[in-house]
Amino acid sequence: MQNYVFQIDSNKQPLDMVHPARARKLQSQQKAKTFRTYPYVLINSNCFETANTKEYILKIDPGATWTGFAIQCGQDIVFRMELKHRGQLIKESLTKRAGFRRSRRTRKLRYRPKRFNRSKPQGWLAPSLRHRLDTTETWIKRFMSWCPIQTIEIELVRFDLQKLDNPEISGQEYQQGTLFGYEVREYLLEKWGRQCVYCGATNTPLQIEHIKAKANGGSDRIGNLTLACEHCNIAKGTQDVRDFLQHKPNLLKKILTNAPKPLASASAVNSTRFAIVKRAKQLCSDVKCWSGGRTKHNRVNLGLLKSHSIDAACVGESAAEINLLTEQPLIVLCKGHGTRQAVRCNASGFPALDKSGQPIKPKIIYRHCCAGDLVKFRLDKDRKAAIAGVYTARVKTPTKNGFEVKLNGLRVSQNIKFLERFIHRNDGYDYLFTV
């Protein structure tokens, strides 16, 4: 069964959610119209006063990459959604921008004095973390404007990073750390047997080498460091260690066994867990926090498969006995609204130019449409990409007289006069039912 349909009255106040069959009947009788396509929201023209007879609970399972949402009515889960954040893309963009800025400072340009006393305010979060917080808050606001939600239940989990890295750690070892009594190089020499980890060379100068290259997102954590001779270090470069040692499976297994598990996701959840609850309390007076252990207990007892939206449905005491009325969740991917760059940059940080020598603008906006709009249009004649007919696609690039879409892997340009209707305007998200 599909997700239940949101419903609002003529004053845009939330009403009880309705079954998809009931929603179709209301539309066929001209009692309701489509207010929004993703998620599907009806506006009921006959209801001038809000009449809610049911209580709804919004359940949230926050994560570093994915956040699960579920709406519960009684013992029924009537809506599920999984939201994918773009925190890693934001981090990569900021790193790239910092590289351009560092490059400009080394050129012979006008002098710009350094700025000091740029302390961060209390509660400051990195942009990639703040994005997770902002998008979660945005969807809480949307759900509360479409559905009469009385309670919000959030999984408040804290990861023990040292326990994840070393499951046997206990007591005083928490205060000592990995390098207790060692210098970094001496620790690596002791750990890897004072030889090159790739070729086994001894009695040769050894260099500190990153198992996962920093260019590919590797960190300076002690577990990501090893020792290699100059020849192996240069030969590996920025390759993935699995590609570099594909002909040495035993050595690869040894290195990966000693390499640490990435803790970026656990750190992101730890950093934002209280901030999400704080923002939820600003939007709803009844906010309850539950542990991850209770979520897992409910999911195992109910015999449900693990997914982000199902974990959200299993949050809290009210999930002890639930019925999933939805077969598949709505998948929402964060795409953003373009870039604020005035001019695109090339690999060297200089303005990128088009064929005519003019700077490439980052985003083209015309009054009739913009990139990301989901449109229904007609093809007036057979094209290489598709035959003549009616199609639904997402606008890739708006043009002066129309728009450009992608059909069967090929770009197709069409005049605006062949546009039948807008199905969904670009709001910074992409909507799917399967990843």
Highest mean pLDDT among 105-114, 264-273, 306-315: 306-315
Which range, of 21-30, 119-128, 358-367, 387-396, averages the lowest pLDDT? 358-367
Alpha helices in 196-355 (DSSP H): 230-236, 241-244, 249-258, 264-283, 292-302, 308-313
Other CB atoms within a 10 A radius of the CB of residue 77 amount to: 25
pLDDT digits (tens, 9 = 90+) for 171-214: 665 565 665 555 777 778 878 888 898 988 888 888 888 988 88
What's the pLDDT score for residue 51? 63
Tell me how far CA of residue 21 lies from CA of 26, 40, 75, 223, in angstroms.
Answer: 9, 13, 20, 56
Looking at the predicted structure, is the pLDDT value of residue 48 above 60? Answer: no
b vs e for 159-184, b when ≥16 Cβ sit within 10 Å of the residue's Cβ? beeeeebeeeeeeeeeeeebeeeeee
Q: Give the integer Cα–Cα distance in Å for 195 and 183.
A: 17
What's the pLDDT score for residue 138? 95
Q: Give the integer Cα–Cα distance in Å for 322 and 76.
A: 6
**Both tokens of residue 272?**
């934002």
Looking at the predicted structure, is the pLDDT value of residue 69 above 70? Answer: yes
What's the pLDDT score for residue 381? 86
What's the pLDDT score for residue 262? 65
Architecture in CATH of 5-86+127-160+266-334: 2-Layer Sandwich (3.30)
What's the pLDDT score for residue 172? 60
Helix (DSSP H) and strand (DSSP E) numbers for the chain: 12, 19
- Going by C-alpha positions, the residue among 158, 142, 123, 9 that lies closest to residue 71 is 142
Helix 87-105 to helix 127-146 angle, to the nearest 10 degrees?
Answer: 140
Q: Coil, helix or strand for 241?
A: helix
Give percent of the chain with pLDDT exceeding 70.
Answer: 87
What's the pLDDT score for residue 296? 87
Residues 204, 229: contact at Cβ < 8 Å? yes
Q: Provide CB contacts within 8 A for 433, sequence distance 6+.
A: 328, 329, 330, 331
Q: What mean pLDDT is predicted for residues 306-325?
A: 90
Q: Coil, helix or strand for 191?
A: helix
As a whole number, the mean pLDDT across the chain is 84
Which fold would CATH assign to domain 173-258?
A: DNA Binding (I), subunit A (1.10.30)
pLDDT digits (tens, 9 = 90+) for 340-393: 777 778 777 777 887 788 877 766 667 678 888 889 999 988 888 888 899 998
